[in-house]
Amino acid sequence: MSNVTVIGTQWGDEGKGKIVDWLASRADIVVRFQGGHNAGHTLVVGDQVYKLSLLPSGLVRGKIGVIGNGVVVDPKALMTEIDRVTAQGLVVTPETLWIAENAPLILPVHGALDRAREAARGDHKIGTTGRGIGPAYEDKVARRAIRICDLAEPETLDWKLDELLLHHNTLLAGLGAETFTKEQLKDFLAEITPRLLPFSCQVWDCLDEARRAGRRILFEGAQAVMLDVDHGTYPFVTSSNTVAAVAASGSGVSPSSVGFVLGIAKAYTTRVGEGPFPTELHDQTGRTLGERGHEFGTVTGRPRRCGWFDAVLIRRAVRVGGVSGIALTKLDVLDGLDEISICVGYELDGQKIETFPSAPGAQARVKPVYETMPGWKETTAGARSWAELPAQAIKYVRRIEELIEAPVTLLSTSPERDDTILMRDPFED
């Protein structure tokens, strides 16, 4: 019996929500280990649609949800989300939701700084959601973060707020933005502390006990490898590491607990916001992919940029992310296309290259080298077995496996939870 870690292999929005929900029914505990409320999952359960940003998806299936120390927590956004799903019938209590007491908080000052800096970037904006995730991670690394455990110590909170405001108000004033007073932040924290503290605990210890008891743990990543702050398309990335290795440090478990790493990839590629996107399509095919795939960001509502499957990027994600197998989603969106292209390499300044460069200028200049395959006229939508797939769709999946050097272990053929083809059970590895 193995634990499973789920990560995105593109730029996020790969359909992790459905796959995590599908796997959560077979897990005991579901853990968020990085990111903030700048990422989201949409889960469809019967006639209910749940949109989650901070809450682990397992709560929808009645499992224990965990927010690890690697997550930056906006307490107001969290409570709003809890209230929303509670109104939909979910039970969220300190028994069903564990939050790491050493998780850093996102405060109103963080969002203000995030938005002010993005506005100041002008033409060089990076596409941040403006929700304060980056500045909150900066505070964590600079050792001035307010953590959940600080809320139980008023004397500690007092001097830490002084230190935090000395830094942030200086920056806000320099950017011509409104500054904050200590009383404003104290009032904000006083309002949310009674609701937040009961959920906090030593998550690392609880997870260790669960592991020793043989309980199945599903680690749920946010964003994706190409948004990783080290391995992604820097600086157009998120503010945390998104690779599977962070499941351990972001929740307080041993590296061996990560288990089977399942990478999620769309059968094509999308991206929200700014940054390089070699296979982006600006034609009718790109618009068709967006329309069929309902490509709008769960959190931002922004339309996603669409393009062909990039095997080069995903091969890199497989290697740096330690991916054991791929869950390929939205295959049905490609139904009916006459031809389908796969990026198998790049050209940079007239030279062929086989990997994606790290420098931003080079990333912007790379051109995709395509391999084109015939499409299929039959439908894959709703298929629940390999035998139901058109022959050409099977060839497409097999070619992807060859190019990314990893097996496709799950295949999703619609947003419905049960429209999933399982070739290999991640929990049984």
Binding-site residue set for substrate = 298-304
Cα separation, 332 vs 379, in Å, equals 7
Tell me whether residue 187 is one of the annotated catalytic residues: no
β-partners of residue 201 are 100
Residue positions forming the annotated binding site for GTP: 12-18, 40-42, 304, 330-332, 412-414
The single residue of 76, 110, 140, 160 carrying the catalytic annotation is 140
Q: Torsion angle, CA of 45/46/49/50, rounded to 10 degrees?
A: -30
Tell me whether residue 162 is one of the annotated catalytic residues: no
The single residue of 13, 114, 139, 150 carrying the catalytic annotation is 13
Tell me whether residue 282 is one of the annotated catalytic residues: no
The single residue of 21, 37, 41, 139 carrying the catalytic annotation is 41
What's the chain look like in SS3?
Answer: CCCEEEEECCCCCCCHHHHHHHHHCCCCEEEECCECCCCCEEEEECCEEEEECCCCHHHHHCCEEEECCCECECHHHHHHHHHHHHHCCCCCCCCCEEEECCCEECCHHHHHHHHHHHHHHHHHCCCCCCCCHHHHHHHHHCCCCCEHHHHHCHHHHHHHHHHHHHHHHHHHHHCCCCCCCHHHHHHHHHHHHHHHHHHEECHHHHHHHHHHCCCCEEEECCCCHHHCCCCCCCCCCCCCCCCCCHHHHCCCCCHHHHCEEEEEEECCEEECCCCCCCCECCCHHHHHHHHHCCCECCCCCCECEEECEEHHHHHHHHHHHCCCEEEEECHHHHCCCCEEEEEEEEEECCEEECCCCCCHHHHHHCEEEEEEEECCCCCCCCCCCHHHCCHHHHHHHHHHHHHHCCCEEEEECCCCCCCEEECCCHHHC
Q: What are the tokens at 383?
A: 């298929």
Residue positions forming the annotated binding site: 12-18, 38-42, 129, 143, 223, 238, 298-304, 330-332, 412-414
Q: What are the tokens at 133?
A: 């995730």
**Buried b or exposed e, range 35-60, using 16+ CB within 10 angstroms:** bbbbbbbbbeeeeeebebbbbbbbbb
Residue whose structure tokens are 């707020």? 161
Q: Torsion angle, CA of 319/220/273/353, rounded to 10 degrees?
A: 10
Q: How many CB atoms lie within 10 A of CB 197?
A: 15
Residue positions forming the annotated binding site for IMP: 13-16, 38-41, 129, 143, 223, 238, 302
Q: What amino acid positions are annotated as catalytic residues?
A: 13, 41, 140
